[in-house]
Amino acid sequence: MFYSQKSKIIDHNLTYLHSQKVFTGQYWDEFALTSSLVPDNAEVLMLGLSLGGGIRPILSGDKIISLTCVDYDSPSVNKCKSFYKEYFPEIKFKAITEDAKIYLSQCSKKFHAIWLDIYEAEAYSSLYFEQDFMNLIKSSLENGGVLLVNSYGLPNHFSPLELDGVQNHLAKFLAANFESLRSIPFRRNITFVASNAPAKIYETQPQAALNAMDKFTFKFIQQKLQASASQEITFNTESSAPTVKEYKFGEIDNQMRAQWQELRNLIKPIGISLNENKEIVMLLENQTQCAKALKHLLDINPRLACFVPILGAGESHSQALDIGWIFDWTYNNIALLKEKLNEDFGDIWLCQLWSLVIHPNGQFKAEYFKMLEML
């Protein structure tokens, strides 16, 4: 059901579909959270389909889920349906070509969970911050239903919810509309879980048909949800009004690059000078210098030390990196990392190393059992 003997892979800037892997180390892996947030025989709506990277993760748990996907882009919808029909014919979902707002305004069905993952080619969709659209979402949820929002932005070691940026603004907008709000960080994406009462977490297990690596990834994702249960996001009343503007990816990327200056300033006193952003990526492959920087950052700014696994995992999807040393370094310094990073060790550090292990290029698959031991 979840795998195909045919070897074709869709590798596209909007998604990655692998014939032998449900989870590939990208943000849509987090769609597997759905199984812990809905009862059996649930109705789930995914707004924003693209080429269907989130479909198998949503259906990877042991729940019976009726999945409806809505996307306004007809070529993507048709390509997705065609691909699943040829390579995963047993996976059932409904794909509808329609504007999300029009669909919700005309649909009488109630959903146990709604995923919001709509983006323009170069920016956030304006729907993310439109109150009328949010009202439609709320009215389309069952009592106790949850809204899950995929939010792209700054790498989470920059603490984006504390900075003036799109993820902070979106969190405030969601907090103004829902009683309960949690965040689950990935890399440059945050999954927000919004509901009108603290979201109920249901027992779930991975589908028996999943292979061992996918089963473990499924369980790891559910653990992240459990950890978020005690971390409600709150804002004071004065700061809850949404900031509405066009959030372009280029501007978000520029904000990230500006934040790197803090890293440069902190490691320059120990003799590591980085004049350009590209040199930060190059530092990852210099084990001696990077390990020196890590030890220094863990003493003065632990969260910023997370730039290593986050940047390594992110860049590895576009280029091969010689960063295998970080697995042994993590294993040998696990006590220090747990002490300095606290929950960030699991939520950020190990999460990104695991995404390297399950990366489809298989560069770090030899670290599988070492990662199992650490996780």
Give 319-323 contacts, CB < 8 A, sequence gap 24+.
320/361, 320/363, 321/281, 321/284, 321/285, 322/285, 323/284, 323/285, 323/356
Return the higher-pLDDT residue of 1 and 259. 259
Q: Which of 3-12, 100-109, 169-178, 276-285 has the lowest mean pLDDT?
A: 3-12
Task: Give Cα separations from 219 to 43, 273, 343, 350 (angstroms).
Answer: 22, 40, 17, 14
Q: CATH number for the 10-239 domain, one of 3.40.50.150, 3.40.50.2000, 3.40.50.300, 1.10.340.70?
A: 3.40.50.150
151, HSE (Cβ side, Cα atoms, 13 Å): 32
Residue 239 has pLDDT above 70, yes or no: no
Burial 212-229 (b: 16+ CB within 10 A, else e): ebbbbbbebbbebbeebe
Q: What does pTM read for this prediction?
A: 0.93
Location of structure tokens 């503007």: 245
Per-residue pLDDT tens over the stretch 119-140:
998 999 999 999 999 999 999 9
Mean pLDDT of 275-296: 94
The residues that bridge with 45 in the sheet, in sequence order, are 68, 114
In this structure, what DSSP letter does residue 347 have?
A: I
Q: Where are the domains of the chain?
A: 10-239, 249-374
Question: What confidence score (pLDDT) does residue 320 get?
Answer: 85
Question: What confidence score (pLDDT) does residue 11 get?
Answer: 59
Beta carbons of 290 and 324 less than 8 angstroms apart? no
Question: What confidence score (pLDDT) does residue 234 get?
Answer: 83
How far apart CA 40 and CA 62 sit, in angstroms, is 8
How far apart CA 108 and CA 196 sit, in angstroms, is 20
How far apart CA 299 and CA 341 sit, in angstroms, is 10
- DSSP codes of every residue in 271-322: T----STHHHHHHHT-HHHHHHHHHHHHHH-GGGGGHHHHHHHHHTTTS---
Mean pLDDT of 27-40: 96
Per-residue pLDDT tens over the stretch 343-356:
899 889 999 999 99
Beta carbons of 160 and 233 less than 8 angstroms apart? no
Burial category of 370 from C-beta neighbours within 10 Å (exposed 0-12, middle 13-18, buried 19 and up): middle
| Short-list 170, 217, 218, CA closest to 194 | 170
Helix (H, G, I), strand (E, B) or coil at 141: strand
105, HSE (Cβ side, Cα atoms, 13 Å): 7
In this structure, what DSSP letter does residue 237 have?
A: G
Q: How confident is the model at residue 10 (pLDDT cuts 50, 70, 90)?
A: low
Mean pLDDT of 33-53: 95
